[in-house]
Structure 1
Amino acid sequence: MLMDRTDLSAVQRPINTAHGLPNAHYTDPHIYDEERAALLMSDWSGLAVASDVPEPGDAQPLTFLGIPLLLIRDTSGAVRVFHNICRHRGMILVDAPRKIEGAIRCPYHSWCYSTSGRLVSTPHVGGPGQNTADGIDRALLGLIEVRSHIWMDVVWINLDGDAPAFEIANADLLARWAEFDKPLYHGGADSRFQLTVQCNWKLAVENYCESYHLPWVHPGLNSYSRLEDHYHIEAPGAFSGQGTVVYRQLTGEDGTTFPDFEGLAPKWDTAAEYITAYPNVLLGVHRDHTFAIILVPQGPSETVENIHLYYSRPDTDAHLRARNTEQWKLVFEEDIFVVEGMQRGRHTPAFDGGRFSPAMDGPTHLFHDWVAGRMARHRAKPHAAE
């Protein structure tokens, strides 16, 4: 039987008459599951960062959309993502971050896999002392790899395997920020933090896309990078966000700043940009540092935000890095009451999705339109009618 489907026709109207997504897209477990397939599994979603596994053999178990995955840097140095299960009986292979010494060994029956995913050992599979058996073809029973790509140190994954190549799907964004396609150095332990917010993941995207809220939610930031200093970034069907023509570098007590990335155009002397790469990665670039925020949905009404900061060199000043992290943490924490307040507001049937300011909400409306379009495409597939 068909589940009750939301009417998204008003979402895809021109911005001056459009409504936002219906409440169910923020509160209903069935719609969450539908979006899970239509938006997050069918596109290039952010999973983690390559810096989570800096050395060959480093392995990090992760759960994304309820799916157990394994992030690993193999012995050749390549970062890979596998389903974190043994091909024998589906046992979880790695249950805590660790260094893989030798092979990945299943703790159940000791089937062993190389860090590149090959099944290399099946002890006693044919009986005591018999390590081979008819029907157990090791060449066909390696770990199940998830399609992945690394850009801006983010590990992007396409779980259903059907998305266009990353370079094609994100061609416009890669071209826009080609100047930042160079080595990025994660600041380390003092340059990563996590926030857990009681809201649907899409509300975090919607808030990040626009600068309209700056004067009231971020008064400190707005004191020097004012609302009128910002501009919209709009790429229908791919990404949206905001930029500012006023970026003020963080300066130490002795006048030091972070070293700039080399080869940037003069506009970056004073500019910065903040873009959501649909569906779930929030990115920021500046002359002297970048950041990535990976939104990990935990259900319809909770989201984990994993934040990572990067620099142009590995030897930046630790005190200045810590100050930069604290400054950004304050900014992102200022948004929590807003996204959580909107989540609570989605529980009243009186709310009809809201409206958009034609002048100020263009980037957010584009995201709503993208969601509606992807949902329509998903619902048109034969399986959706079963």
Structure 2
Amino acid sequence: MAKDHATDDLNAVRRNVDTANGLPNEHYTDPATFDAEAKAVLHSSWAGLAVGADVPENGDAKPMEFLGIPLLLLRDKDGDVRVFQNICRHRGMILVDAARKIEGAIRCPYHSWCYSTKGALVSTPHVGGAGHNTHDAIVKEDLGLIEVRSHIWRDVVFINLDGQAEPFEVVNADLIARWHENTAPLYHGGDDSAFALDVQCNWKLAVENFAESYHLPWIHPGLNSYSRLEDHYNIEKPIANTSSGAFSGQGTLVYRQLTAEDGTTFPDFEGLSDKWNEGAEYICLYPNVLLAAQREHAYAIILEPIARDRTIEHVHLYYASPQTDDDLRMRNTAQWKEIFEEDISVVEGMQRGRAAPGFDGGRFSPAMDGPTHCFHDWVAAKMGATADG
């Protein structure tokens, strides 16, 4: 596609929702566009990487990749969660190749350079020749691990790869204010409260699907039987400028708690107003984190963009207490897993549909698709498109 034509197509995404087109096909199918979008959208934003519960104890380390970049998620000796590039500053060797606890220092397996859990280079054996562990050319203070800017909110570890974003609290001030009541501690449910879904679709399709409730009657008939389409409302915080945050999603006025046969429910989070007695909200925090706020449990879904047509959805469930009923907790995980699996055929079907050369990105229902258009508009703005009326 010629550059000026591509620009026109992106500008069309930024029209008002009643006349806008969706993002062009190449944003879902073209490897070069995937790479360009990664830098313009994912590198420049506060993207979700993991959760703090992935490294629960001091010294826990977990190697990860994000867009092909080797990273190390680490809880240091003082309990702070950090993200480093998972490479030695000597020759670029991968430092940690499997999740483990760091006892003492992080040792490079190649030449045994060692780093503290805070990233400082502390040992360079034989660097000045056999038996000489220092050299004037090797300044340890300049060769610590490369730390990736990170921030934790609702236990999600967000990273800003290019280091240029405004502080997380500034970028996402509107959502933080919206959920100002939801500040009680979150306790991860443990191994039975986490799972991953490997989905053959572009990561943006998972965001689009989560943002709207339009599909509930047909894709989630069980959920729609008690939390009906007409019980939902749209949530939209559009982009103000390319450095500001944005989010969208949906809320329900009819949230039903999971209840055991004896009437047991999960304990509620403290400090919530009556709004949350029967209400819940499900929000896409751009670019790639999907969040739920409910009276007695929450969840976070981190979308890992593997390729233009493959995404891994990492799902984590949280509770108001560190101790919850085992059977009820496992039922809750199974219930959400079933709901999220119902969406797989939809997002994979849309991915296959993007191979149709005549498709112009589609149109939006102004009444039902506002949250999805809000996301498309944000992506187009990050890619340099201008508002087109």
TM-score range, shorter chain: over 0.9
Residue 259 of structure 1: which of 250, 267, 270 is its match?
267
SS in 1 for 2:350: helix
What residue ranges of structure 1 are gaps of 5+ in the alignment? 379-386
Deviation at 1:182, TM superposition (A): 2.5
Assess if the C-alpha contact under 8 Å between 2:188 and 2:319 holds in 1: yes
The yes-or-no answer on 1:118 pairing with 2:120 is: yes
Amino acid at match of 1:216: W
Percentage identity across paired residues of the two chains? 71
Deviation at 1:135, TM superposition (A): 1.5
What residue ranges of structure 2 are gaps of 5+ in the alignment? 240-245
SS in 2 for 1:89: coil
Taking the aligned partners of 1:123 and 1:181, their CA distance within structure 2 comes to 47
The yes-or-no answer on 1:355 pairing with 2:363 is: yes
SS in 2 for 1:196: strand
Deviation at 1:9, TM superposition (A): 1.5
Taking the aligned partners of 1:377 and 1:18, their CA distance within structure 2 comes to 13
Taking the aligned partners of 2:3 and 2:77, their CA distance within structure 1 comes to 47
Residue 194 of structure 1: which of 188, 192, 196 is its match?
196
SS in 2 for 1:327: helix
Deviations 1:35-79 (A, max 9, x none): 100110000000000000000000000000000000000000000
Deviations 1:181-213 (A, max 9, x none): 221000000100000000000000000000000
Relative to structure 2, which stretch is displaced further, 106-115 or 368-377?
Answer: 368-377
Query: What's the counterpart of residue 68 of structure 1?
Result: 70
Deviation at 1:3, TM superposition (A): 7.0
Amino acid at match of 1:221: L
Query: What's the counterpart of residue 327 of structure 1?
Result: 335
Query: What's the counterpart of residue 284 of structure 1?
Result: 292
Assess if the C-alpha contact under 8 Å between 2:211 and 2:372 holds in 1: yes
SS in 1 for 2:118: coil
Query: What's the counterpart of residue 270 of structure 1?
Result: 278
Query: What's the counterpart of residue 56 of structure 2?
Result: 54
Amino acid at match of 1:212: Y
Deviation at 1:134, TM superposition (A): 1.7
Taking the aligned partners of 2:32 and 2:5, their CA distance within structure 1 comes to 10
Query: What's the counterpart of residue 21 of structure 1?
Result: 23
Assess if the C-alpha contact under 8 Å between 2:248 and 2:284 holds in 1: yes
SS in 1 for 2:181: helix
Taking the aligned partners of 2:4 and 2:18, their CA distance within structure 1 comes to 28
TM-score scaled by length of structure 2: 0.96
Query: What's the counterpart of residue 80 of structure 2?
Result: 78
SS in 2 for 1:308: strand
Relative to structure 2, which stretch is displaced further, 136-145 or 171-180?
Answer: 171-180
Query: What's the counterpart of residue 301 of structure 1?
Result: 309
Assess if the C-alpha contact under 8 Å between 2:293 and 2:299 holds in 1: yes
Assess if the C-alpha contact under 8 Å between 2:10 and 2:385 holds in 1: no
RMSD between aligned residues:
1.2
Deviation at 1:178, TM superposition (A): 1.6
Could you list the structure 1 runs, at least 4 aligned residues long, displaced by more than 2 angstroms after superposition.
Answer: 2-7
Amino acid at match of 1:40: L
Q: How does 1:95-114 map to 2 (within 5 A)?
A: 95-114=97-116
Taking the aligned partners of 1:255 and 1:308, their CA distance within structure 2 comes to 25
Assess if the C-alpha contact under 8 Å between 2:288 and 2:302 holds in 1: yes
Taking the aligned partners of 2:185 and 2:95, their CA distance within structure 1 comes to 32
Amino acid at match of 1:232: N
TM-score scaled by length of structure 1: 0.96
Taking the aligned partners of 1:207 and 1:270, their CA distance within structure 2 comes to 23
Deviation at 1:377, TM superposition (A): 6.6
* Residues 3, 101 of structure 1: alpha-carbon distance in 2 compared, 3 angstrom cutoff: farther
Query: What's the counterpart of residue 344 of structure 2?
Result: 336
Number of residues paired by the alignment? Answer: 377
SS in 2 for 1:251: coil
Query: What's the counterpart of residue 249 of structure 2?
Result: 241
The yes-or-no answer on 1:316 pairing with 2:324 is: yes
Deviation at 1:322, TM superposition (A): 0.2
Taking the aligned partners of 2:12 and 2:151, their CA distance within structure 1 comes to 35
Taking the aligned partners of 2:180 and 2:142, their CA distance within structure 1 comes to 39
Query: What's the counterpart of residue 382 of structure 1?
Result: none
Deviation at 1:323, TM superposition (A): 0.2
